[in-house]
Amino acid sequence: MTRQTVDLRPSTEPPLPRPRPLASLVTRPQVIALAAVLFVNWLLFPGFFTVTWQDGRLFGSLIDVLNRGAPVAILAIGMTMVIATKGVDLSVGAVMAISGAVAAVMVTSGYPAWLAVLAALGAGLVCGLWNGILVTLLEIQPIIATLVLMVAGRGLAQLITEGYIVTFSDPVLIFIGTGSFLGFPMPVVIAFTLMLLATLIVRRTALGLLIEAVGINRSAARFAGLSSGALLLIVYTFAGFCAAVSGLIVAGDIRGADANNAGLWLELDAILAVVIGGTSLMGGRFSIPMAVLGAMIIQAMNTGILISGFSPEFNLVVKSAVIIVILVLQSPLSARLFRRLPGKSQ
Amino acid sequence: MTDAAARPVLEARGIVKVFGQHRALDNVDFAANAGEVHALLGENGAGKSTLIKILTGAYHPDAGELLLDGQPIHLRDPLHGQGYGIGTVYQEVNLLPNRSVSENLFLGRQPTRFGLVDRRRIDAQARDLLSRYGLDIDVRAELSEYSVAVQQIVAIARAVELSGKVLVLDEPTASLDRNEVQRLFEVVRGLKAKGLAIIFITHFLDQVFDLADRVTILRNGRKVATQRLDTLNTTDVVRMMLGKDVAFEHHPTALTGSTRGQVRVAFKGLNRKGLAPFDLAVHEGEVVGVAGLLGSGRTEVARLMFGVDGAEGGEILVDGRPVTIRNPAQAVAAGFGFCPEDRKLDGIFGDLSVRENIIIALQAKLGWFRALNREDQVELAGRYAEALDIRAANHDMPVKLLSGGNQQKVILARWLAIDPTFLILDEPTRGIDVGAHAEIVRTINRLREEGLALFVISSELDEVVAYSNRIVVMRDREMVAELAGPDIASDAIVQAIAGTPQEVRP
Amino acid sequence: MTRSLRPLLATTLIFLFAYLLAVTQHPAMFSTRVLGNFLTDNAFLGIAAVGMTFVILSGGIDLSVGAVIGFTTVLIAVLIMWLSLHPLVAFAIALTVAACFGAVMGAAIHYLKVPSFIVTLAGMFLARGGASVLSPDSIGIQHAFYSGVSKSYILMPGGGRLTVVGIIMLAVFAVAILLAHRTRFGSNVYALGGSETSAALMGVPVARTTIAIYALSSFLAGLAGVVFSLYTSAGYSLNALGVELDAIAAVVIGGTLLTGGYGFVAGTFIGVMLQGLVQTYIVFDGTLSSWWTKIVVGVLLFMFIVLQRLVFRAGPRRT
């Protein structure tokens, strides 16, 4: 009486065709947004797309956007994965300052540049590991756990530089910040390489999928036999590493370590870049290239504001407007407004 | 009819509630009378909590109406319900653990003097109020410092104080000991004598008989019966809850037990606080069914086996060799699989695709660096989706868009993909429509025939009977009986669950 | 003893111990003169931290505090120097603007269901950006009222000066203590921090309370901006950079649980004073550098976060 036979035949619906990768890339909202920002920049400054070759390297506004966007892009690479696990890392700006300070102090004390670079990267790894330990072993909420280093980190950086802006003339460090390779500025080359490597590692191994699984449903991940602790540790450590790389670039760019201002507020830009890149703050699906694209959108806006003659602080207003738009678009409120009929699942 | 004189305070007529494609409540009538305790019984998914949420205003019915004192009402939310005199006390006390007892009693209606809260008066009133419930405690202390029993009584006091017509007790005794339950019951009896209509939800049958006057039993979203409890015994109630009205087809091979092979997995003296030590061996090609009511410890056994909760003693042998299982990862490494009861919370990764959901356990087992490439994934997902007849438009769509039955099959596929030695299924057919239900039962039978060792928990008797070689009956967090071969029959199970002596069946 | 009192007790003991230690090394620190400076120098931080306390008690966080302080100083300077308004009128306008700003953030947090840190992050960008759009440069304020205020103080025994801004901070703490512990609004704040679901079921107006909490926080940040303006006689968009972090640290060190629900406004006062003590000690010592402040505050923050985890994990929670 409660049981009845039902039709058990398999679905006759044909599988949906997979969208062509190129077509789907071009229609992504981030790509359209970047194109729109660049277009506006071009309207404001007709020479925007002009790229010239001079002294063995490329010059032009477009290259400038890439170059200046690189530090945030690198931060965003690490931040993407942290956010994918449903976490956040507020300390990356402070870690940048630490890394720059370590490198600067070491070369000015006479150590070879390669050792200074390794030490700076090591410092970043240690900072990231510290965050990871707080999050996994002590089970402190990420935003709170990383706040500790955000507060203390700049103090540590100043401790290392003893409060001075340590300037250096080491050619290797300066090359990292201002050199060029195959015509492209080093920061761009580093950011691009890191993006490629990180994406390859994450997608060629199972790491990416497992990170997404942990971010989407930690309890289900546990039931499926995943050990999320080790994953979280790796993700936070990697974020620290990225921050260190970014710190080296910024230090090389200004030929010195400024513990007070290096990477100031960049953690927020990195978070924004990740969010613009479509990774949800609630964790889950992530895309490293999209986050890098997000960083480029932010930088293109910055540049646009600069060339149109507004004060650089004006882009804070624009950034906040961007956050607001994204928040409204992602909110359940607009989901209700824009809800379309979902495709029937069976 | 003995109820002729009774006055229904809160009445629900023809209530229908649909979630997606699932009818959680189908034309249910319910009435709570003044001065009575009305028990509401049913297994998980029977529709109890949905009905309660409609009665208290948390959900809005898709059809049917609510009447309070004969007048139709439309509740916006629980707060609105409270205003009408319908108060609720939940199992997980919905008060503020971080605030004082008196504040919990008076939040939102604190007496003030010159705009400031008059704390001395609140404390005095709180002490006074609680003394009427036989509670003499420091009302200024944080609520969380008291036992759950005291918190329940505080919650009841608040609900009655605010509402005072209908009191809904949603599994208030789940985490109380015997003395605390008695204390709570005294409070409830006092309120009943004052003429409140009390709706009591629990899964402890003895408590129902102890406290309630009438009982309404729900199963699969339908009302089975509303009866006076003095006309019923435990066996009747269990039978109505678990359902025997379906003609089950007892699987012929299960009777003989001839197909079962070697012992696959053996648990010896496995135990944990609150769960009696148990021994159990599951053979190749055998389904061990678990029967028992909610709260009997059946899910706890499964969690213990899979390492979700750490065992405090005992050992586990797989194919005769001892293995260490302290967490699910080790269980998976030992070849165990577990389909948890709460699919959404512990099972599926909603935003991941069907394909990824199927291969995730295998991938976790392989480790980070031996990634399954896309072709492997597509092949695996395709194979198991076909074997289990998972119906999805494609395997790249998020699993959350699938129906409950298909989601369950995806989780099953996930475990089949690791080529398990032992599979634990906790309520595999919960919240699944009738068609998918039959399919899953069929799948379990097929897996057994293919030589898998299975441990299946279900509240549906006909279902357990249909696929089990042996049935373990659980009551009060203990395995109390084991039925095998010809003994497997609903009546015997019902009696074992109810704790009545086995009758000789004709 | 109530669990939530333990971190507060720890803070108090640490403060007393640290103060004792400081006084034994530098006896001059034991004077009302130092105390007076103490209160004056930390007034804006203290006021902002009070607002932050309410936000954190309710389970949120407000990253816009420093930016709102900066914005307010610029707005006040613009109103006084460019529009020639009387400072009191300028203050009233600035405080209203700040409160409305906070209310909007609160509404966004509640209705858009986004984490408070991201909304207040947008708020921070907006306030800093808005301030520099108003005026990218520092604007000095010359007004009789300002010089009058800076000259008025209450002389404490021992020669210490209790300045107007110091008095404002003490008054804010006094009112906030009443507000948190003796009003329905205060109860609702704690209720939200305890459990939003329970609070809603118990009749707490969640939307209204959330909006009020962030409005209060921004209002107090605005008031901190007024104090900052009186203290420095200037408006600059980059004023009070990073004060939100100091405020959060003060709240946590003061024994308020960062996840909400437990804590005391009075504890925040001790948290602010402890930070001030570290700074004053470093000034007195002379050999130590200012960055030790950040490190010590970071270490304290870490200690208290771990302490809270231990205290609150051991609690009789059942699920």
- Determine the residue of chain A that is closest to B245 in CA distance: A1
How would you class C115 by CB atoms within 10 Å of its CB: exposed for 0-12, middle for 13-18, buried for 19 or more?
A: middle
- Determine the residue of chain B that is closest to A2 in CA distance: B246
Scanning B51-70 for CB atoms below 8 A from A yields none
User: Count of alpha carbons within 13 Å of A184, Cβ hemisphere only?
Assistant: 15
User: Count of alpha carbons within 13 Å of B272, Cβ hemisphere only?
Assistant: 15
Q: What is the residue type of B384?
A: Y
Q: How many CB pairs under 8 A join B and C?
A: 76
By the CB < 8 Å criterion, does C129 face chain A?
A: yes
Nearest of B7, B186, B183, B188 to residue B89 by alpha carbon: B188
* H/E run at residue B32: strand B22-33
CA distance B386 to chain A (A): 9
Q: Would C318 be classed as within a structural domain?
A: no
Q: pLDDT (tens digit, 9 = 90+) per residue, A167-179?
A: 888 888 888 888 8
In a mutational test of the A interface, the residue from C110, C117, C120, C125 whose CB has the highest number of chain A CBs within 10 Å is C125
User: Count of alpha carbons within 13 Å of B214, Cβ hemisphere only?
Assistant: 21
The residues pairing with B13 across neighbouring beta strands, listed in sequence order, are: B65
Contact at 8 Å (CB) between B168 and B89?
Answer: yes
Lookup: tokens for A276: 């613009």
Smallest Cβ–Cβ distance between C195 and the set B96, B110, B175 belongs to B96
**What class has domain B2-98+142-232?**
alpha beta
Q: What is the residue type of C90?
A: A
Q: Given phi > 0 = left and psi -120 to 50 = alpha, else beta, which region is C301?
A: alpha
3-class SS of residue B315 = strand
pLDDT at B500: 62
Contact at 8 Å (CB) between B376 and B409?
Answer: no
How would you class B434 by CB atoms within 10 Å of its CB: exposed for 0-12, middle for 13-18, buried for 19 or more?
A: middle
Query: What does A171-224 look like in DSSP terms, one character per residue?
Result: HHHHHHHH-EETTEEHHHHHHHHHHHHHHHHHHHSSHHHHHHHHHH-HHHHHHT
Lookup: tokens for B401: 């868009």
Q: pLDDT (tens digit, 9 = 90+) per residue, C97-140?
A: 999 999 999 999 998 888 888 889 889 889 988 898 888 888 98
pLDDT at B260: 64
What phi and psi, each to the nearest 5 degrees, are found at residue A2? Answer: -90, -20
- Residues in B closer than 8 angstroms to C58, CB to CB, are none
Contact at 8 Å (CB) between B239 and B498?
Answer: no
Smallest Cβ–Cβ distance between C301 and the set A143, A151, A311 belongs to A151
- Residues in A closer than 8 angstroms to C129, CB to CB, are 313-320
Say whether B94 and C198 touch across the interface (CB within 8 A): yes
pLDDT at A243: 95
A70-104: burial string, b at 16+ Cβ within 10 Å, e else? bbbbbbbbbbbbbbbbbbbbbbbbbbbbbbbbbbb
Q: Would C319 be classed as within a structural domain?
A: no
- Residues in B closer than 8 angstroms to A2, CB to CB, are 220, 243, 245-246, 434
More confident residue, B91 or C211: C211
By the CB < 8 Å criterion, does C208 face chain B?
A: no
pLDDT at C2: 64
Scanning B430-459 for CB atoms below 8 A from A yields 434-435, 438-439
Task: Map tokens 């031996």 to a residue.
Answer: B370
By the CB < 8 Å criterion, does A333 face chain C?
A: yes
pLDDT at B227: 87
Average pLDDT over residues C241-260: 87
Q: Given phi > 0 = left and psi -120 to 50 = alpha, else beta, which region is A265?
A: left
In a mutational test of the A interface, the residue from B360, B395, B424 whose CB has the highest number of chain A CBs within 10 Å is B360
ipTM of this predicted structure: 0.81
Query: Would you give the distance in Å from CA C169 to the centre of its chain?
Result: 10
- Residues in B closer than 8 angstroms to A6, CB to CB, are 434-435, 438
* H/E run at residue B167: strand B166-170
The DSSP call for residue B343 is I
Lookup: tokens for A279: 């990774």
The DSSP call for residue B351 is T
The residues pairing with B23 across neighbouring beta strands, listed in sequence order, are: B18
Nearest of B208, B240, B231, B233 to residue B2 by alpha carbon: B231
Q: How many CB pairs under 8 A join A and B?
A: 131
Scanning B238-267 for CB atoms below 8 A from A yields 243, 245-246
Q: What is the spatial distance between Cα B384 and Cα B412, in angstroms, rounded to a whole number?
A: 9
- Residues in C closer than 8 angstroms to B345, CB to CB, are none
Task: Map tokens 């290797």 to a residue.
Answer: A172
Q: Would C210 be classed as within a structural domain?
A: yes
Write out the E strands in B396-492.
Answer: 422-426, 453-457, 470-475, 478-484
Say whether C203 and B116 touch across the interface (CB within 8 A): no
Q: What is the spatial distance between Cα C293 and Cα A321, in angstroms, rounded to a whole number?
A: 35
Q: At what angle do helices C164-182 and C184-194 cross, to 10 degrees?
A: 70
3-state per-residue secondary structure call for C53-107: HHHHHCCCCCCCHHHHHHHHHHHHHHHHHHCCCCHHHHHHHHHHHHHHHHHHHHH
By the CB < 8 Å criterion, does C199 face chain B?
A: yes
Distances (CA, A) of B23 to A346, B13, C291: 17, 16, 64
pLDDT at C296: 84
Q: What is the residue type of A28?
A: R
In a mutational test of the A interface, the residue from C61, C112, C113 whose CB has the highest number of chain A CBs within 10 Å is C112
In a mutational test of the B interface, the residue from C4, C8, C181, C187 whose CB has the highest number of chain B CBs within 10 Å is C187
Sign of the C-alpha dihedral computed for residues C139, C142, C143 and C144 taken in this order:
positive
Query: Would you give the distance in Å from CA B56 to the centre of its chain?
Result: 20
The DSSP call for residue B97 is T
Distances (CA, A) of A142 to A126, A147, C42, C53, C113: 17, 8, 29, 20, 19
CA distance B332 to chain A (A): 6
The residues pairing with B199 across neighbouring beta strands, listed in sequence order, are: B38, B168
The DSSP call for residue B5 is G
What phi and psi, each to the nearest 5 degrees, are found at residue B502? Answer: -65, 125
pLDDT at C301 over 90: no
Smallest Cβ–Cβ distance between B329 and the set A7, A227, A345 belongs to A227
Total number of domains constituting chain C: 1
Say whether A155 and C258 touch across the interface (CB within 8 A): no
How would you class B7 by CB atoms within 10 Å of its CB: exposed for 0-12, middle for 13-18, buried for 19 or more?
A: middle
Q: pLDDT (tens digit, 9 = 90+) per residue, C200-209?
A: 888 888 999 9
CA distance C155 to chain B (A): 33
Smallest Cβ–Cβ distance between A327 and the set C108, C301, C302 belongs to C108
Q: Which partners does chain B have (≥3 C-beta pairs < 8 Å)? A: A, C
* H/E run at residue B271: strand B263-272
The residues pairing with B291 across neighbouring beta strands, listed in sequence order, are: B473
By the CB < 8 Å criterion, does C207 face chain A?
A: no
Query: For chain C, how are helix, strand and coil distributed in percent, rounded to 5?
Result: 75, 5, 20
Q: What is the spatial distance between Cα A192 and Cα A186, in angstroms, rounded to a whole number?
A: 10
Q: Are strands B453-457 and B422-426 parallel, antiparallel or unpaired?
A: parallel
Smallest Cβ–Cβ distance between A155 and the set C128, C237, C292 belongs to C292
Residues 6+ away with beta carbon under 8 Å from C169: C39, C42, C43, C46, C47, C227
Smallest Cβ–Cβ distance between B175 and the set C182, C203, C318 belongs to C318
In a mutational test of the C interface, the residue from A79, A130, A136, A144 whose CB has the highest number of chain C CBs within 10 Å is A144
Contact at 8 Å (CB) between A37 and A305?
Answer: no
Domain layout of chain A by residue ranges:
54-326
In CATH, what number is assigned to the domain containing residue C199?
Answer: 1.10.3470
Say whether C203 and B110 touch across the interface (CB within 8 A): no
Contact at 8 Å (CB) between B319 and B453?
Answer: no
By the CB < 8 Å criterion, does C301 face chain A?
A: yes
Q: Would C222 be classed as within a structural domain?
A: yes
Q: Which CATH architecture group holds A54-326? A: Orthogonal Bundle (1.10)
| Dihedral angle of Cα B404, B410, B413, B418, to the nearest 10 degrees | -130
- Determine the residue of chain C that is closest to A260 in CA distance: C291
Say whether C298 and A155 touch across the interface (CB within 8 A): yes
- Residues in B closer than 8 angstroms to C3, CB to CB, are 142, 144-145
3-class SS of residue C282 = helix
Task: Map tokens 């004056």 to a residue.
Answer: C40
Please list the rounded mean pLDDT of every run of 10 residues in chain A (346 residues).
Answer: 35 42 67 83 79 80 87 94 92 93 90 91 95 89 86 86 83 85 89 93 89 90 88 94 94 86 84 87 87 91 82 78 78 60 37
Please list the rounded mean pLDDT of every run of 10 residues in chain B (506 residues).
Answer: 64 87 84 91 79 88 90 87 86 82 86 81 90 86 84 87 85 76 87 90 83 89 87 82 54 50 87 86 89 82 89 88 90 91 87 91 86 87 86 85 84 90 88 73 86 87 83 86 81 79 42
pLDDT at B234: 80
Q: Which CATH architecture group holds B255-335+422-506? A: 3-Layer(aba) Sandwich (3.40)
| Host domain of residue C259 | 5-313
By the CB < 8 Å criterion, does C193 face chain B?
A: yes
pLDDT at A26: 67
Say whether C319 and B92 touch across the interface (CB within 8 A): yes
CA distance C11 to chain A (A): 17
Say whether A209 and B308 touch across the interface (CB within 8 A): no
Say whether B97 and C194 touch across the interface (CB within 8 A): yes
pLDDT at A24: 65
